[in-house]
Structure 1
Amino acid sequence: MTPGTIHGVGLGPGAADLMSVRADRLVRGARHLAFFRKRGRPGQARRLVEGMLRADVVEHAMEYPVTTELATSDPRYVELLRGFYADWAGRLAALARAGADVVVLCEGDPFFYGSFMHLHARLSGAVPVTVVPGVTGMSGAWTASGAPITWGDDVLTVATATLPEAELTRRARDTDALVVMKIGRHLPKLRRAIAAAGREQSAWLVEHAAMPEQRVVPLAEAGESAPYFAILLVHGQGRRP
């Protein structure tokens, strides 16, 4: 039997009309649709394709065994996630070996801080796998801010707020332009790091970029907490004609 293909499909930053034509075609034609979600939640990726699916689609909700309950440095966190990805890689591979194509929904771009990359590492070479790139969340965020993120020779640093505070401070101090993702409960730590780097007055917080609830505020005016879908920006001010 000719095996099916696992398609990791980037959905973009959160608006259906920012999906690529290829992504739209694959989502609408999917017979098997897989997506990640937190237990008890509908899943952001699944929400983005509401109303686009064929009537006979078979949905596979891949529910994380842990999200923020354990520190990422905890050995139990690593063990649980390793087992989760191995289990779902096996399930998807079985579908592909039976001849089924499977579309795996990915927020943003599948190869940019995405869960799909962990499946890709386990599936690649075992069954056919393709990746459809998507507009990244950070691109949606700096577009929402209304200003270019880099000019001329600016160096852009992309970091996650899960880094230690001292490392965040160093990264913020040593770059021209900055993007920080995965903020959520790390906002107080990030705020201290940005202030220590002397960048607080030029920092912006973008929440839910490209989504109906989008909000763009200077970091100094942001509250004490931020949603997971929040991105901090420091725009570069480099060379220009």
Structure 2
Amino acid sequence: MTGTLYGLGVGPGDPELITLKALRILKEAPVLAWPAPLEGDSLARSIAEPHLDGHHREIAIRMPMDVARFPAQQVYDTAAAEIAAELDAGNDVAVLCEGDPFFYGSFMYLFGRLAETYPVEVVPGVSSLMATAAASGAPLAARNDVLTVLPAPLEEAELVRRLKEIEAAAVIKVGRHLPKLRRALDAAGLSDAARYVGHATMGERQTVCPLTDYPEEKAPYFSMVLVHRRRDAWIDGRGQEEAGE
């Protein structure tokens, strides 16, 4: 009998947003694995830390954050081999995943290497998408609006093309791409419909404001820009006529 691999969504930052199921597995699994930059702390582990009692063996999956080198296949090969050894020994392994494991999460690369050989269970978590909407105090989309998720690393012309077509959008992976995103939003006529959310649910680090009021040229890694073409269409029926309702 081999162990089970768990892709454990631990939520966007607030330790209280871990689901009951994820918390149970976190406490029961003998082995934890977690992603981290080459240097520094792991956000996923820091979210789980208040719930840890010290009984786990831990596997650090350290990887470069440079887009040009990511995903670093050899890092995942090494981590998968280390995790497989634990699974072969009959030990369950919980891989801690920020937000949700399958929403642009690095867990997919471990899943791709191990799922055909070992039992795997993916435990969904509160995603950054839901957390930023809650932090911003506004719905992601209203009525029949189509919600589009756009990665900011897209080429500027592609961002402009897609933004011109959106009804509501969440732009992820903002970081150093913020100046390009601002230009794309201007070109699409949506700058005044964009809200910036940084470090959602992370206490005093959380920042929420209209994007036009955000003064920095770069955004932190954990940030998102939310856009709604009809602005506050969800308040008192505003925007219904524009939506054809």
Q: TM-score, length-normalised on structure 1?
A: 0.92
Deviation at 1:19, TM superposition (A): 1.3
Quick check: 1:110 aligned with 2:108?
Answer: no
* Aligned amino acid, residue 176 of structure 1: E
Partner amino acid, structure 2, of 1:169? V
Equivalent residues of 1:179, 1:231 under 8 A apart: yes
Note if contact 1:160-1:183 (Cα within 8 Å) is conserved in structure 2. Answer: yes
2:225 & 2:54 partners in 1: Cα distance? 39
Q: How far apart in 2 are the matches of 1:236 and 1:60?
A: 44
Specify the alignment match of 1:25 in structure 2: 24
d(CA) in 2 for partners of 1:39, 1:61: 10
Partner of 2:65: 67
Write the deviation string for residues 45-83 of structure 1: whole angstroms up to 9, x where unpaired: 01101121132211111100x222xx43xxxx26x7111
| Local SS of the residue matching 1:41 | coil
3-state DSSP class of the match of 1:33?
strand
Paired with 1:197 and 1:35, the residues of 2 have a C-alpha distance of 39
**Residue number in structure 2 paired with 1:150:** 141
Residue 212 (structure 2) aligns with: 220
Following TM superposition, by how much is the alpha carbon of 1:215 offset from its aligned partner in structure 2, in angstroms? 0.7
Q: CA deviation at 1:151?
A: 1.1
Given that 1:29 and 1:54 are in contact with CA atoms closer than 8 Å, whether structure 2 keeps it comes out as no
- How much has 1:230 moved relative to structure 2? 0.5
CA apart distance, 1:224 = 1.4
Indicate whether 1:194 and 2:185 are aligned. yes
Distance in 2 separating the partners of 1:56 and 1:43: 18
User: Within the alignment, does 1:94 sit opposite 2:92 as a pair?
Assistant: no
SS, match of residue 44 in structure 2: helix
Q: Tell me the distance in 1 between the aligned counterparts of 2:127 and 2:51.
A: 21
Question: 1:236 and 1:192, CA in 2 relative to 1: closer, same or farther beyond 3 A?
Answer: closer
1:29 & 1:127 partners in 2: Cα distance? 18
Instruction: Trace 1:1-241 onto structure 2 (pairs within 5 A).
Output: 2-64=1-63, 66-68=64-66, 71-72=67-68, 77=69, 81-212=72-203, 213-222=205-214, 223-235=216-228, 237=230, 239=240
> In structure 2, what is the Cα distance between the partners aligned to 1:139 and 1:55?
31
Once residues 229 and 93 of structure 2 are traced to their aligned partners in structure 1, the CA distance between those partners, rounded to angstroms, is 40
Superimposed CA distance per residue, residues 214-236 of structure 1 (whole angstroms, 9 cap, x where no aligned partner):
11011111121210000000125
Residue by residue, what CA displacement relative to the aligned partner does 1:21-41 show, whole Å, maximum 9, x if unpaired?
101111122311100000221
3-state SS in 1 of match to 2:144: coil
Q: Give the number of equivalent residue pairs.
A: 232
- Percent pairwise identity: 44
Once the two structures are superposed, what CA deviation does each residue of 1:77-112 show, in whole Å capped at 9, x if it has no partner?
26x711111221121111101100011000011001
Letter of the structure 2 residue corresponding to residue 216 of structure 1: V
Tell me the secondary structure at the aligned position of residue 49 of structure 2.
Answer: coil
In structure 2, distance between residues paired with 1:15 and 1:30 = 21
Is the deviation greater in 82-91 or in 115-124? 82-91
TM-score by length of structure 2 reads 0.90
Q: Which runs of 5+ in 1 are unaligned?
A: none
Greater mean alpha carbon deviation, residues 81-90 or residues 149-158: 81-90
Aligned to 2:235: none
Unaligned runs of 5+ in 2: 231-238
